[in-house]
Amino acid sequence: MKTRVISSVLSLVMLFTMLGLQPATAQDSVSEFVFAHGGPIRTMDAPVTWFGSTHWLTNLLYDCLIWRAADGDGYVPQAAEDWENLDDLTWRFTLREGNTFHNGEPLDAEAVKWNLDRVRTREDFLVQPQWTFIDEVIIVDNLTVDVITKEPRPYFEYDVSYNGCELLPPDYMEEVGEEEFARIPVGSGPYKLTEFTESDRYVFEAWDEYWGGRPEVDRVIYQVIPEQSAQVAALLAGQVDLIPSVPVPDRQMIEGADGISLVTETSNRMHLFYLRVETETGAVSETYPDYVPATLDQNVRQAISHALDRALLADVQGAATPTLLRACSYTPEGSVGKYADPATIEEWYNPELAKELLAEAGFADGEGPTIYLDAPTFQSGNEKEVAEVAAVMLEEVGFNVELNVLDTSAYNEQISSGGNNRDLNLVTLGCSPSLVPSFYQCEWVQANYNVCVEEWDAIGEEIARTVDPDARLALWEQWWDYYMDYSQTLTLYEIDNVMAYNSSEFEFVPRKDGWFTFRDIKLADG
Amino acid sequence: MNTQTDIESKSKSNVNVLELTPQKRRSTKILKSLLQSPVGIIGSVIVTIVIVLAIIGPAISPHDPTDSNLRARFQPPGYSDETGNYILGTDQLGRDILSRIIAGSRVSVLVGITSVLIAGTIGVIYGLISGFFGGLIDTIMMRVADGILSIPFIILVVAISGVVGAGLATLILILGLTGWVTYSRVVRAEVLKTREMEYITAAYAIGQNRWRVMIFHILPNVISSAIVLAAVQVGVTILAESSLSFLGLGVKSPIVTWGLMLADGRQYINSAWWMTTFPGIAITITVLGVVFLGDWMRDFLDPNVRGRG
Amino acid sequence: MKGFIFARFAQMIITVFIVSLIVFFLVRLKGDPIAVMVPPTFNEDQIARMREVWGFDKPLGEQYLIFLSKAVTGDFGESIQARRPAMELVVERLGYTYMLAFTSALIGITLAIPLGVISALRRNSKIDLLSTTLSSLGTAMPSFWLGLMLMIVFSVNLRLLPAFGALEPASLIMPSLTLGVGMAARLSRLTRSAMLEILNQDYIRTAYSKGLGVRVVVIRHALRNALIPIVTVLGLQLGWLLGGSVVVESVFSWPGLGRLMIESINVRDITVVQAGLFWFALSFILINFIVDTLYVFIDPRIQYS
**pLDDT value of position B18:** 47
**pLDDT value of position A3:** 58
The reported pTM is 0.88
Neighbours of A361 (CB within 10 A): 18
Q: Tell me: the pLDDT tens digits for A298-329?
A: 999 999 999 999 999 998 888 999 999 999 87
Mean pLDDT of all residues in A232-250? 93
Name the residue among C144, C163, C177 with its Cβ closest to that of A239: C163
Residues of A in contact with B253 (CB under 8 A): 388, 403, 405
- The residue that leads in pLDDT, B86 or A413, is B86
* Helices and strands counted in chain C (H then E): 14, 0
Spatial CA neighbour of A464 closest among A154, A158, A162: A154
**If pLDDT is split at 50, 70 and 90, which confidence band does A21 have?**
very low
In terms of phi and psi (left: phi > 0; alpha: psi -120 to 50; beta: otherwise), the region of B55 is alpha
Which residues lie across from A201 on neighbouring strands? A197, A223
Interface contact flag, B8 C206, Cβ < 8 Å: yes
In A5-95, DSSP assigns E strands to 32-37, 66-68, 75-77, 80-87, 90-95
Spatial CA neighbour of A508 closest among A492, A520, A495: A520
Note whether A224 and A40 are within 8 A (CB): yes
Residue A18 has pLDDT above 80, yes or no: no
DSSP string, chain B: -----HHHHT-GGGS-HHHHS-GGGHHHHHHHHHHH-HHHHHHHHHHHHHHHHHHHHHHH-SS-TT---GGGTTPPTTEEETTEEETT-B-TT--BHHHHHHHHHHHHHHHHHHHHHHHHHHHHHHHHHHHHH-HHHHHHHHHHHHHHHHS-HHHHHHHHHHHH-SSHHHHHHHHHHHHHHHHHHHHHHHHHHHTTSHHHHHHHHTT--HHHIIIIIIHHHHHHHHHHHHHHHHHHHHHHHHHHHHTT-SPPTT---HHHHHHHHGGGTTT-THHHHHHHHHHHHHHHHHHHHHHHHHHHH-TTTTT--
**pLDDT value of position A11:** 65
- Could you tell me the CA-to-CA distances from B116 to A76, B119, B125, C9 in Å, in that order? 63, 5, 14, 32
Kindly identify which residue of chain C lies nearest to residue A407, measuring between CA atoms.
C266
SS3 of A92, please?
strand
Mean pLDDT of all residues in B12-26? 50
Query: Taking the domains of chain B in order of start, what are their residue ranges?
Result: 104-308
Complex confidence, ipTM:
0.89
Name the residue among B38, B284, B298 with its Cβ closest to that of C141: B284
Q: Tell me: the pLDDT tens digits for A180-221?
A: 999 999 999 999 999 999 999 999 999 999 999 999 999 999
Query: C43 — contact with chain A (CB < 8 Å)?
Result: yes
**pLDDT value of position A16:** 61
Q: Tell me: the pLDDT tens digits for A268-294?
A: 899 999 999 998 888 888 888 888 999
Q: Tell me: the pLDDT tens digits for C181-208?
A: 999 998 998 898 888 888 877 777 777 7
Residues of B in contact with C201 (CB under 8 A): 13-14, 304
Test the A interface: residue of C131, C164, C172, C187 with most A CBs within 10 Å: C164
**pLDDT value of position A257:** 92
**pLDDT value of position A22:** 45
Cβ-Cβ contacts under 8 Å for B125 (sequence gap 6 or more): none
Spatial CA neighbour of B269 closest among C178, A227, C161, C183: A227
Ranges of chain C whose pLDDT falls below 70: 1, 29-31, 304-305
**pLDDT value of position A208:** 94
Tell me the C-alpha distance between B243 and C240, whole Å: 15
**pLDDT value of position B238:** 84
Mean pLDDT of all residues in A99-125? 95
In C174-241, DSSP assigns E strands to none
Please tell me which chains touch C, using 3 or more CB pairs under 8 Å as the contact test: A, B
Mean pLDDT of all residues in B240-250? 78
Q: Tell me: the pLDDT tens digits for B40-83?
A: 888 899 999 999 998 898 888 999 988 878 778 899 999 988 88
Phi, psi of A375 (to 5 degrees): -150, 155
**pLDDT value of position A5:** 57
Residues of C in contact with A226 (CB under 8 A): 250, 253, 259
Residue A13 one-letter amino acid: V
User: Lowest mean pLDDT: which of A211-215, A331-335, B207-211?
Assistant: B207-211
Mean pLDDT of all residues in B114-122? 91
**Which of residues 256 through 275 in chain C touch B, CB cutoff 8 A?**
261-262, 265, 273
Q: Tell me: the pLDDT tens digits for B277-307?
A: 999 999 989 988 988 888 888 877 776 554 4
Mean pLDDT of all residues in A419-439? 88
- H helices present in C38-172, as ranges: 44-53, 60-71, 86-121, 126-140, 143-151
The architecture of the domain spanning B104-308 is Orthogonal Bundle (1.10)
Which residues lie across from A260 on neighbouring strands? A502
The separation between CA A375 and the C-alpha centre of its own chain, rounded to angstroms, equals: 18
Residue A31 has pLDDT above 50, yes or no: yes
**pLDDT value of position A42:** 86
- CA A153, A158, A164, A167 torsion-angle sign: positive
**pLDDT value of position C200:** 75
Tell me the C-alpha distance between A60 and A57, whole Å: 6
Cβ-Cβ contacts under 8 Å for A485 (sequence gap 6 or more): none
Tell me the C-alpha distance between A389 and A307, whole Å: 12
Interface contact flag, B243 C152, Cβ < 8 Å: no
Residue A437 has pLDDT above 80, yes or no: yes
